[in-house]
Amino acid sequence: MAKIQMKTPIVEMDGDEMTRILWGWIKDILILPYVDLRTEYYDLSLVKRDETEDQITIDAAEATKRLGVAVKCATITPNAQRVEEYHLKKMWKSPNGTVRRILDGTVFRKPILVKGITPYVPGWTKPIAIARHAYGDIYNSVETKVSKGDSAYLVIQDSDGNEVSRQLIHSFGTGDGIVQGIHNLDDSIRAFARSCFNYGLSEKLPVWFGAKDTISKTYDHRFKDIFNEIFEAEYKEAFDEAGLYFMYTLIDDIVARVMRSEGGMLWVCRNYDGDVMSDMVATAYGSLGMMSSVLVSPDGKYEYEAAHGTVTRHYYKYLKGEETSTNSVATIWAWTGALAKRGELDDIPELVSFAKKLEKATLDTIESGYMTGDLIPMFRSEGITPVKMNSIQFLQAIASRLEK
């Protein structure tokens, strides 16, 4: 059979530890036999980042801006222990953070559902995708304790230092207390809104967004207004055409609606809401090994990755020659996401359909009882006793289904 031809290369960002090992195996066993793979390769391993003073990460992000679609392996974000372990010149920043900054993107996470692994909320039969705004609010706040008798004000100055407005926050007449100042930027909220609407269109999901504009009549209301403005001006038509919708309502109403729903929407979250709710949603669906993740920029560039890390504990076992049973599903999804998006943009239907077949072969493998160790305790399916496979056996089992 002739291999599927590609037009534009995918930006390939290799990574670290166990996921780097899986990376090579996935390509060799599941992709290269079928696709004449074209990638622009960037080695984002910690060793290479150190060697290039992290320039390689910047180059990879710039390449993503140029080519539009990237696939990224999990990478080590160094801490003090890693600086010692790898004899690093510096404690380099998180590569995910660097790529996110350069692309000005938003991270979207979506669980990968399989029959046999029931979410803790049994009504959630479709995945709930979550978008978290990654700028501002309490994550860039100033705060202080205030003593009894003191007063706190919200003061705005113009660029010359003249006072524009002054509002009393509170006079602490009766006792000590605390005060906090938070901010956000219209541009950041706009970029976030565009990323969310692009993702909704790309994944064919309705978009739900909630904030507390009834209480926070300026701050939260600004989020609501910006989302509505951008939707009406730039996305309404495309959403109508795709049979999708955008819904804004209060955050507490959204929480109630999500619980009652069958899933199948993009839940757009403010920074703090996303921090909290993404952990709840991920846990409800089962495992980090079954969570896909994509960074989408406001101008429609895509970087696909797994939501988990480099699975260090398994890597040390691998180095000792011991058997590992590491779940490769999220990393496979990073590849299928990138291949399908490339196929869609370059009008190569065979590539899109290959990606879908690879996903189906992966799900079928698990549903028929063959899986990695992390899924075994969660798997319940009538008449099927799950079989634990090692990392390579699992990929080979998928390959033999794909072959069929």
Query: If residue 97 lies in a helix (H) or strand (E), which one and from where to where?
Result: helix 95-103
Taking CB under 6 A as the binding criterion, the range among 27-35, 47-55, 68-76, 237-245 that sits at the site for ligand NAP is 68-76
Residue 184 interacts with which of ligand NAP, Mg ion, none, CB < 5 to 8 Å by class: none
Contact region with ligand NAP (CB under 6 A), list: 177-185, 227-235, 304-312, 381-389: 304-312
Query: Of 72-80, 150-158, 159-167, 231-239, which part binds ligand NAP (CB under 6 A)?
Result: 72-80
Q: Does 303 bind ligand NAP (CB under 6 A)?
A: no
For ligand NAP, the closer of residues 111 and 289 by Cβ is: 289
Which of ligand NAP, Mg ion, none does residue 275 bind (CB under 5 to 8 Å by kind)? Answer: Mg ion
- Given 136, 264, 309, 369, the residue binding ligand NAP (CB under 6 A): 309
Strand (E) positions, 24-159? 35-36, 39-43, 69-72, 106-111, 129-132, 142-146, 151-157
Q: Does 96 bind ligand NAP (CB under 6 A)?
A: yes
Residue 278 binding ligand NAP, by CB under 6 A: no
Work out the angle between the directed axes of helices 17-26 and 312-319 (0-180°, nearest 10). Answer: 70
Interactions with ligand NAP, residue window 321-360 (CB under 6 A): 326-327
Point out which span in 71-79, 139-147, 157-165, 276-284 binds ligand NAP (CB under 6 A).
Answer: 71-79
Dihedral pair phi/psi, residue 210, rounded to 5°:
-135, 140
DSSP 334-359: HHHHHHHHHHHHTT-HHHHHHHHHHH
Burial 239-269 (b: 16+ CB within 10 A, else e): beeeebebebebbeebeeebeebebebbbbb
Among 130, 296, 311, 348, binds ligand NAP (CB under 6 A): 311
279 binds Mg ion (CB under 5 A): yes
Cβ 246 vs Cβ 231: under 8 Å: yes
Nearer to ligand NAP, 235 or 370 (CB): 370
What are the start-end ranges of the E strands in 270-345?
A: 291-296, 302-306
The minimum distance between CB 14 and ligand NAP, in angstroms, equals 12
* CA 116 to chain CA mean position, Å: 24
Of residues 365 through 404, those in contact with ligand NAP by CB under 6 A are: 374
**Total binding residues for Mg ion by CB under 5 A?**
2
297-332 b/e (C-beta count within 10 Å ≥ 16 → b): bbeebbbbbbbbbbbeebbebbeeeeebbbbbbbbb
Amino acid at residue number 214: T
Q: Which residue is nearest to ligand NAP (CB)?
A: 309
What are residue 247's DSSP bridge partners? 208
Stretch binding ligand NAP (CB under 6 A), from 70-78, 225-233, 243-251, 392-400: 70-78
Distance in angstroms (rounded) separating the CA atoms of residues 129 and 113: 12
Shortest approach of ligand NAP to residue 37 CB, angstroms? 22
Which residues make up the interface to Mg ion (CB under 5 A)? 275, 279
Which residues make up the interface to ligand NAP (CB under 6 A)? 74-77, 96, 288-289, 305, 308-313, 326-327, 374
